[in-house]
A and B are shown apart, each in its own frame.
Chain A
Amino acid sequence: SYVLTQPPSVSVAPGQTARITCGGNNIGSKSVHWYQQKPGQAPVLVVYDDSDRPSGIPERFSGSNSGNTATLTISRVEAGDEADYYCQVWDSSSDHYVFGTGTKVTVL
């Protein structure tokens, strides 16, 4: 089955840039979506189709995808960005949706 690997944690100072990676075999050929989940809350879509933002999501959130790595970038990080982040793809070989292992972003 298709595996998506994320770093368990990323720490960043306020105002700096956080980069969260999502590794998968030839992930660049897939559409990658990203979710933010704050403690006790349901996940929220922050980026879809590699780099598009749903309405209401700040421009500080951006995405890219190439080769074996997709990346969610959070610019000018704020305290409110502290959350778990998950990547997600559709695996056509298994007809299953797959989530990444998740990354906890800590704002120092």
Chain B
Amino acid sequence: EVQLVESGGGLVQPGRSLRLSCAASGFTFDDYAMHWVRQAPGKGLEWVSGISWNSGSIGYADSVKGRFTISRDNAKNSLYLQMNSLRAEDTALYYCAKGGSNDYGGHNWFDPWGQGTLVTVSS
């Protein structure tokens, strides 16, 4: 069974940093791109970032570009999101999701998703 388990969320002050992790199991991790998708409280889904199987191709939403960094460790079956210069508008539930192919871009879908980790940015 494919499992994605996020961790690392919490309450953080504006301007500070946080690192999210996603532990993957049940599939060949380095065969697939991985993504972060977030959902602000009571709002819709927003793609945040994606990374190809070998980290050779990476993309970010305009809202986080220059502040967030996605990475992966295929030896540890893990995905990460380093979030710097956090803002109140970054408050959301952050989901880790498996991509539909090995490339982060293209006609791909997200399946499955983890249960998410909550990030709250507030003073």
Binding site for B on A (CB under 8 A): 1, 30-31, 33, 35, 37, 42-45, 48-49, 54, 86, 88, 90, 92, 95-102
Q: Chain B residue with minimal CB distance to A52?
A: B109
CB of A33 within 8 A of CB of B109, answer yes
Structural contact, B115 and A88, CB atoms closer than 8 A = no
Q: How many residues of B contact A (CB 8 A)?
A: 23
A-B contact pairs, 17 of them (CB 8 A): A33-B109, A42-B95, A42-B115, A43-B45, A45-B112, A86-B44, A86-B45, A90-B105, A95-B105, A96-B59, A96-B62, A97-B35, A99-B44, A99-B45, A99-B47, A102-B44, A102-B45
B contacts, CB < 8 Å to A:
35, 44-47, 50, 59, 61-62, 95, 100, 105-116
Given A35-B110, A37-B45, A49-B109, 11 more A-B residue pairs with CB atoms under 8 Å apart are: A33-B110, A42-B95, A45-B109, A48-B100, A48-B111, A86-B44, A88-B45, A88-B109, A96-B61, A99-B46, A102-B44
Chain A residues near B50 (CB, 8 Å)? 97
